[in-house]
Amino acid sequence: MSRTNKIFFSLILVVGLYIAFLPNKFSQASFLNFLGKDNSNEIDQNETFDLQAFSKIPVLRGGRVKPLDSVARNILLVLRNKRTALRVLEQWENEKLELIQSLKKEGNELTEEQSKFLKNYSKNRKTTTPQGGIEVAVTEVDAIDWLAQVLFAPEKADKLKTFLIDHDQVLGLVNQKLLDNGKFFSYEELEPFLSNIDSSARKAGEVETELRDSFQQNIIELYRSLLIYKKLKHSLSPPTTPDRPEVLEQLGVTDLVYSEEKDRARSDEYVRFRKLTAELAKDSSVVQLGSEEFARVVFFVDRYNQANLWTEFLPIPPIIAEGDGKWMKVTESLVGSEPLESRQKQNMDPARFALTLRELLSLEKTELKERIAYIRENQKLDPSALFATQYAEAIKVKEGVDPVIIQYEELAFAYRDQNFSKFNRLVNEIYELTTTRAGSTASTLSFEKTFNGFEPFYRSAIAYVLIFIVASFSWLMAAFKKDSGTVRTLRNSAYYLTIIVLICHTFGLAARMWIEGRPPVTNLYSSALFIGWASVLLCLGTEKYIRLGIASAMGALIGFSSLVIAHSLSLDSSLNPTGDTMEMMRAVLDSNFWLATHVVIITIGYSTTFLAGFLGIAYIFFHIGCTISNKSENKMKKTLDSMIYGITCFSLLFSLVGTILGGIWADQSWGRFWGWDAKENGALLIVIWNALLLHARFSGIAKTRGLACIAIFGNVVTAWSWFGTNMLGVGLHSYGFMDKAFDYLMMFIISQLIIIGLAYIFPIIWKFLFKPKDKKLDNIDTLPDYDSLD
Amino acid sequence: MNNKKNKSSLSQRRRDFNFLLPLASLRLTIALLSLSMILIFVATLEQVRIGIRGALAEYFESFYGIWYYPEKFWGGEILQDIPLPIPGGYLLGGLLIINLTAAYIVRFQWTLKKGGIQLIHLGIILLLIGQLTTQAIQEESRMQINKGEKSNYIERFHGVELVIRDVTDPAQEKVITVPQELLQKGGSHSDKAMPFTINVLHFGVNCDFDFATAEKPRSPMAEIVNRGVGQSANLNLTPKEEDFSSDALNFGYIIFELLDKGQSFGKWMSISHPAGNQVWSQISPKLSDMGFQSIRHNGKLWGVALRQEREYLPFSIELLDIENEFYQGTEIPYNFESDINLHLEDNQTRRALVYMNTPLRHGGKTFYQYQMNDSANYSVFQVISNPSWLVPYIACVLVSIGMLWQFSLHLIRFLRKNSQTPQKA
């Protein structure tokens, strides 16, 4: 290796390391953060909110205990398809910024306050967005910053641009134009149109999912986004029902309900409610219809039951003494939840309800708990008894107000008062308390938070582009400059770069497995991650022996595409309604053994088939290139031929074994080995196609070009069974109707068919146009191989 | 030396079975594989239109199917009228078995080196045979049990029977059943144990029914019914094609006449509920007798009903408890579980849990957790009897061993010579 080459080689590797692991512009965390280096130590505890610490607090959403950081990111992903919100800068901010920047330019010394302002501002990425036809400066607000504002200072959050609307008719509905106001909107901007959105979405909801047009789908998505946002706002501070004063007066609860003037916090109301229930618990004789005391309790239980519906995550960790591991909503911790749907109350017999409740309240607490469990188990068809159990629970089982509620309220005060040290102290207290109560489920929280910021798949995707460029460059060098040293250096750099990126990609997969406690593939999103990973791994193995840069380039291409596909899948609202790509598994899929065997093996089958297909594409382009430059393709042809063949052998192995294992799983869970379900058929198509390729080669029907084309068509078959079958919306395997993806799938299929077409037509046209005198061209196989199959 | 012997054994076989040579051709294999691709793809598309069971009947469980290009696709307006014959599953499956078997005899070298290939193909033959037999003999039924109760019979998902019970003496109930095949033929049916004959007037596997009103009176077919629920509930009935989609409900119906010595004493109507006749009372109290329409005749009490075809088991299952859990704060099911007692033939009892991915296998039948209603306290098992269920497992083992064998040989060679083309097999 020459000196320049050596320098170049090391430079490439450093860039690779920078993209894959080191602190950079692409992500918030680097591998240093995993080693215990915490950003929070850097900030002054008395001068800013320690949002990093805040983001680690555990809550339950989507059936999984996760840090607030994940909640914030996932929800923003649903609302805005990004992991940040946007804040339009105020006039004075813009002016001040300009002033400071001009001062700095002129070389003036900045005051401490000024430099802090500049630092704070430049921390986040700035862009512009159209507002009323003119571009205005906006700054990105981190997910956790946004969440803190939504929870503690909603009036501020309502001004942040949080909602993505990019459908022209939906924009029309909210009286906006894409050109004038962009596609991101704040809650404040949408508020005047809520009733319009609501009625349109309701109408659209009446149409069957498969038959909805794009407006209907988009309006429903917007409606859901707004609902999530509203629920999120109320997750820590339940809505207060807008009861009319005379109703409250009549019930005698005017002094009991929360009032902004008199009370400091909502928990004052909860404390008063607890007093009411404590009295009832002592003297159950007043439990009867028409009694004033009881009517008040009924009022509050109803109020809290209503509030139970308005929450996006469950903030109250399980009570250790209960030992049931049950997370709760704020109001749920006061009154529990309704055992049946509310409308079932119509079927209640009021007299028997009161009788049962009195009976229950006369029991001792431990006895009462047993009795409640008994009734819920054995009297499922008796609404009177069931609703009585909720009241008994609210009155006698639940005690006091959960300290976590009060701490969160204090946290909100500290946030609004900009009391940094108090906020940071409370954050630590809440973290301690909630993680202790959450127990082992909270063990991965801190890691998950750092993992979120590390964004290994985003880093990998960027690095794959670099690999592709380096590898392609090596071919260019090989074709035009016969400088074998440089070519070798480039290929080696691509190879070692692949190793670096693969470590990053592997780390991402392994981290997800650790957080979820599951094998790597659990849903469509993770299948995309895994397909990319397996392909790159296989390419690395191939490149180790055949250092031509082809496997590196194709691996990088597949790795990059699969990560982009994964990202778009995470944005698909039908596949991923909560924005969390680590969702819980449905009962029938909840089997780590089968997920680890069938799903992983079949996914490897997908990736190897894709790899063979992409090698086929590489060959076709090489073939065309040779035709144009009128060169012999002998050695390369042989190599690619054997690569396609070897990898297809793997494909057949994995897809066949995976499919058979799938059959065995189906036999275990649905009682039939094979049910001709769409997804099963898709997998079978891949098996047959791979078998067909091998047999076509054995029989000599297909030579290299035919083989390459069969392999390329394998891409079509695999794409079909990976996505197309999900779009059919039939069968047990279909997990969502994806219509947006349909166009992309079609484009992909057409592109593959065009390449196959080119492989056969291009040489003929070229020959016809230029009639090269060199006889060598005839060596390139012109056998009617692939065509003879149909 | 050994190799030569093997080669000569192959040529010996080729001479002996030379008529098999064209059947063993690789080109035939490739043609069959390509046609299978078309079959599977078309049948998958067709599932949207006619459901999985429909596609099964039309394409996989037949020798050929006729496909019309979907109207919704590009150029559908013009192309939709052209009937395209698609080779069916029985045809392709059968031919593949023949092709493979022939290849076994006249093309494969029976050597250790090629042992992997042989094992793989043997596994494939087994899989094909296993699937063909499964399609032919597998039966799917359901068993519904209320919590705390026992059941000793299963009901077919598809297929009905007419049942006539003599319940005069509760201790000695006599039961006569008329299977669907006989009902479909129509005509009269009689039995020694039955003092009357049944004359089937109308029968079908699916229908629409509703209560007739003044504006919408009964159809001529339903109008003739003058006894039983059909008359008292003033039921109207319209025959319908069988629905093959996977979540279809097919209501089998019958209108029959009872004759004593050639003398008619009434015309009845009966409809079978696909989820079991006990469901009728939930639909309307007027229909609650559909599962048992009583007939008094010559001092004896009879009950008739059309019901899903039943099979009584030599053992029974008692449902002790059910569990239906969801992930906290979500509607994603986490666990469906039935806690059961299996009362065996020899009066012994065995406790068992049936839940997702863990069925109960007993007496040649497999019971899978299928549906569950937590508030109404019942559990439904899907019951499958498939004597060939073990075949795919054996095939799987053969194929895996064969593949490992063959590909490790290849891999070793590939790594050794890396860039050289591997030998043709």
- pLDDT tens digits for range B143-181: 989 888 899 999 888 889 999 888 888 778 888 889 888
Residue in B with minimal Cα distance to A337:
B329
CA distance A755 to chain B (A): 20
Q: Tell me, yes or no, whether B302 and B174 share the same domain.
A: yes
The string of pLDDT tens digits covering residues A224-271 is: 999 999 999 999 988 876 667 787 888 888 888 888 888 888 889 999
Q: Does B37 touch chain A (CB under 8 A)?
A: yes
Q: What is the pLDDT of residue A160?
A: 94
Whole-angstrom distance, CA of residue B121 vs CA of residue B123: 5
| Chain A contact for B269 (CB, 8 A cutoff) | no
Instruction: Please write the tens of the pLDDT for every residue from A466-475.
Output: 999 999 988 8
| Helix H or strand E encompassing A242 | none
Distance from the Cα of B16 to chain A's closest Cα (Å) equals 23
Which residues span the domain enclosing B65? 2-137+389-417
CA-to-CA distance for B339 and B353, rounded, in angstroms? 5
On average, the pLDDT of chain B sits at 84
Query: What's the whole-number mean pLDDT along residues A273-295?
Result: 83
Residue A685 and residue B41: Cβ atoms within 8 Å? yes
Q: What is the DSSP letter of A395?
A: I
- For residue A704, is pLDDT > 70? yes
A249 and A191 assigned to the same domain? no
Last residue of some domain: A380, A397, A414?
A397
Using 50, 70 and 90 to split pLDDT, how confident is the model at A740? low
pLDDT at A784: 36
Average pLDDT over residues A708-723: 93
Helix residue spans in B107-243 (DSSP H):
115-137, 180-185, 220-223, 228-232
- What sign does the CA torsion over A728, A732, A737, A738 have? negative
Question: Residue B60: its chain A contacts at CB < 8 A?
Answer: 676
Total domains present in chain B: 3
Nearest C-alpha in A relative to B57: A676
**Taking a contact as any Cβ pair under 8 Å apart, which residues of chain B between 160 and 179 contact chain A?**
none
ipTM strictly over 0.90?
A: no
Same domain, B178 and B199: yes
The overall average pLDDT reported for chain A is 86
Q: For residue A461, what are its two tokens?
A: 């995707």
pLDDT of residue A129: 80
The answer to whether position B203 is within a domain reads: yes
pLDDT of B376 above 80: no
Q: Where are the alpha helices (DSSP H) in A309-362?
A: 332-335, 350-361
| CA A555 – CA B248 distance, rounded (Å) | 46
- The angle, 0 to 180 degrees and rounded to 10, between the axes of the packed helices A143-152 and A214-234 is 60
Instruction: Quote the domain boundaries for residue A147.
Output: 68-234
A53: tokens are: 């610490």
Do both A786 and A680 map to the same domain?
yes
Contact A684, B40 (CB under 8 A): yes
Question: Can you say how many angstroms the Cα of residue A790 is from the centroid of all Cα atoms in its chain?
Answer: 43
Query: How far is residue A75's CA from residue A579's CA, in Å, rounded to a whole number?
Result: 6
How far CA A467 is from CA of A10, A30, B253, in Å, comes to 14, 21, 68
Does residue A223 lie within any of the structural domains?
yes
Q: Are residues A161 and A288 in the same domain?
A: no
- Report yes or no on A514 lying in a domain: no
B189 and B79 within one domain = no
B404 and B378 in a common domain: no
Q: What 3-state DSSP class applies to A380? A: coil
**B359 CA: distance to closest CA in chain A (Å):** 7
The per-residue pLDDT for range B1-17, each reduced to its tens digit, is 455 566 677 888 888 88
User: Looking at CA atoms only, how far is residue A4 from chain B in angstroms?
Assistant: 30
Of B27, B328, B421, the CB nearest to A642: B421
Residue B422 has pLDDT above 60, yes or no: no
CB contact under 8 A, A586 and B333: yes
User: Residue A62: its chain B contacts at CB < 8 A?
Assistant: 327, 329-330
Distances in whole angstroms, Cα of residue A9 to Cα of each of A14, A476, A487: 9, 17, 11
Q: What is the pLDDT of residue A737?
A: 43
Same domain? A217 vs A255: no
Residues B158 and B295 in one domain: yes
Please check whether residue A437 lies inside any domain of the structure. Answer: no
Shared-domain flag, residues B164 and B228: yes
Q: Is B377 on the interface with A (CB under 8 A)?
A: yes
A668 vs B contacts (CB less than 8 Å): 357-359
Check B403 against A656: CB less than 8 A apart. yes
A781 has pLDDT over 70? no
Report residue B366: phi and psi, to 5°. Answer: -120, 130
Do B169 and B308 share a domain, yes or no? yes
Contact flag A63-B330 (C-beta cutoff 8 Å): yes
- Of B261, B288, B312, the residue that ends a domain is B312
CB contacts, 8 Å: A649 with chain B = 407, 410
Whether residue A785 is predicted with pLDDT greater than 50 in this model: the reply is no
User: Which of A347, A374, A397 is a domain's end point?
Assistant: A397
Q: Quick one: B207 and B120 in the same domain?
A: no
Say what the pLDDT of residue B424 is: 42
CB B139 within 8 A of CB B388: no
The CA distance from B192 to the nearest CA of chain A, in Å, is: 40
> Residues 63..92 of B with a Cβ closer than 8 Å to A: which?
none
Examine the domain organization and report whether B397 and B380 are in the same domain.
no
Nearest C-alpha in A relative to B50 = A730
Contact A546 B400 (CB under 8 A): no
Work out the percent of chain A whose per-residue pLDDT is above 90.
Answer: 40
Tell me the nearest-neighbour CA distance from B86 into chain A, angstroms.
Answer: 14
What is this structure's pTM?
Answer: 0.84
Please check whether residue A66 is in contact with residue A448, taking contact to mean a CB–CB distance below 8 angstroms. Answer: yes
Q: Give domain status of residue B92, yes or no.
A: yes
Q: How far is CA B142 from the centre of its chain?
A: 11
Please determine, for residue B208, whether its predicted confidence score (pLDDT) is greater than 80. yes
B398-417 pLDDT tens trace: 988 888 888 788 778 777 77
